[in-house]
């Protein structure tokens, strides 16, 4: 696996593959890798990529909280071992200075319903940072197909919108959420959970599953569905619910009454660690194509 640190070198690498007629798959990450990330590599291959680039870049512009950025886990050598074992051909590892040199002042912002609720409320500027860095990474790596996890549902919807609005011509593949055996969605942040905190965090997937069952049993009032999540989590000290909302995936409007197109999405702080997860209330796969 090639390790690439400069933009010029990554561009040359990608250009050479494209000239050879290869279809480049791309998996952007912030490192501290787990099986969820590795599943994206497999999805890139399944989507027809015959060469795969991953990136590891803890993007400062998407952190609204400097403490969160400082605490973000960094496990570079282990990450590279995992990517090589997963068959990644090149890993792009730029520095913050390489990506945002002095004088940098251009940002990409998706506006409207996708960026005025859920994670956007408590993390102002977060999605602007994500859209900007993903746009930059796309223009450096020049992939044919890029893979993102459904775990970060709002993020992948925003990126799909951006790709379509800016005519970037990249296929976006959405990979299902990979969970640990206990049901917790894998996340780099889970490393910061003690055994006790993790036990509390399990209230999130449990509450989401209870909400899904309640919906299947005929409960369609969003507040009632959300109570399943609150009830599982707020019995613990050190747990705070940032948001718990029912959103219609088509148009991304908040829904007081849930329907088959809705997801229940939540973000919680468990002993200071922020975790997100969601469930499709109908139990069906979520179509993450951007609708007009
Ligand atoms: P991150 O390193 O957290 O920025 O995530 C990089 C990519 O991995 C994003 O597209 C995430 O949605 C995806 N991802 C993170 N956790 C999971 C998971 N548990 N299952 C599937 N994809 C994931």
pLDDT at 213: 98
Q: How far is the CA of 221 from the centre of ligand 1 (A)?
A: 30
Ligand 1, atom 6, lies closest to the CA of: 29
Which residues partner with 240 through β-bridges? 269
Q: Would you state the torsion angle of the CA atoms of residues 7, 13, 15, 20, taken in this order, to the nearest 10 degrees?
A: -170
Domains along the sequence of the chain with CATH? 2-175 (3.40.50.620), 188-279 (3.30.1300.10)
Ligand 1, atom 19, lies closest to the CA of: 186
Q: How far is the CA of 253 from the centre of ligand 1 (A)?
A: 24
Q: Is the dihedral of CA 191, 194, 197, 201 positive or negative?
A: positive
- Counting as low any pLDDT under 50, the low residues of the chain are 290, 292
pLDDT at 288: 63
| pLDDT tens, residue by residue, 231-251 | 999 999 999 999 999 999 999
pLDDT at 139: 98
Nearest Cα to Cα of residue 266 among 210, 195, 188, 193: 210
Ligand 1 atom nearest residue 33's Cα: 2
Q: How far is the CA of 91 from the centre of ligand 1 (A)?
A: 16
Ligand 1 pocket residue status of 39, Cβ below 6 Å: yes
CA 238 – CA 200 distance, rounded (Å): 9
Half-sphere exposure of residue 4: CA atoms within 13 angstroms, side-chain side: 22
Out of 26, 27, 31, 36, mutate this one to test ligand 1's pocket (max ligand atoms within 8 Å of CB): namely 36
Ligand 1 pocket residue status of 187, Cβ below 6 Å: yes
Ligand 1 atom nearest residue 32's Cα: 2
Ligand 1 pocket residue status of 149, Cβ below 6 Å: yes
Burial class of residue 256 (count of CB atoms within 10 Å of its CB; 0-12, 13-18, 19+): exposed
pLDDT at 284: 84
pLDDT at 285: 79
Buried b (16+ CB within 10 A) or exposed e, 157-188: bbbbbbbeeeebebebbbbebbebeeebbbbb
**pTM, to two decimals:** 0.97
236 classed as catalytic = no
For residue 257, give both structure tokens. 């009454």
Ligand 1, atom 10, lies closest to the CA of: 148
Rounded alpha-carbon distances, angstroms, from residue 55 to 79, 165, 169, 191: 11, 24, 20, 20
């Amino acid at each position: 696996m090639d390790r690439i640190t400069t933009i010029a070198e990554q561009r040359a690498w990608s250009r050479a593959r494209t000239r050879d007629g290869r279809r480049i798959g791309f998996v952007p990450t912030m490192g501290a890798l787990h099986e969820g990330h590795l599943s994206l590599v497999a999805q890139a291959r399944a989507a027809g990529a015959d060469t795969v680039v991953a990136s590891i870049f803890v993007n400062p512009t998407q952190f609204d909280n400097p403490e969160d950025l400082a605490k973000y886990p960094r496990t570079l050598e282990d990450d590279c071992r995992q990517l090589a074992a997963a068959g990644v051909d090149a890993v792009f590892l730029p520095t913050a200075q390489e990506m945002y040199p002095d004088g940098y002042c251009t940002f990409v912002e998706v506006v409207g319903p996708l960026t005025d609720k859920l994670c956007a409320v408590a993390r102002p500027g977060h999605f602007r940072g994500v859209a900007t860095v993903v746009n930059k990474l796309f223009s450096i790596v020049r992939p044919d197909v890029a893979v993102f996890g459904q775990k970060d549902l709002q993020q992948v919807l925003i990126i799909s919108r951006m790709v379509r609005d800016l005519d970037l011509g990249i296929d976006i593949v959405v990979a299902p959420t990979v969970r640990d055996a206990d049901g917790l969605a894998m996340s780099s942040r889970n490393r910061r959970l003690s055994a006790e905190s993790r036990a509390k965090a399990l209230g999130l997937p449990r509450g989401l599953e209870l909400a899904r069952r309640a919906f299947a049993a005929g409960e369609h009032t969003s507040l009632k569905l959300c109570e399943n999540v609150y009830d599982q989590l707020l019995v613990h000290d050190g747990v705070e619910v940032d948001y718990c909302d029912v959103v219609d995936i088509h148009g991304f409007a908040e829904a007081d009454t849930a329907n088959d197109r809705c997801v229940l999405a939540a973000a919680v702080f468990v002993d200071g660690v922020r975790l997100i997860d969601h469930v499709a209330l109908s139990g069906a796969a979520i179509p993450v194509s951007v609708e007009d």
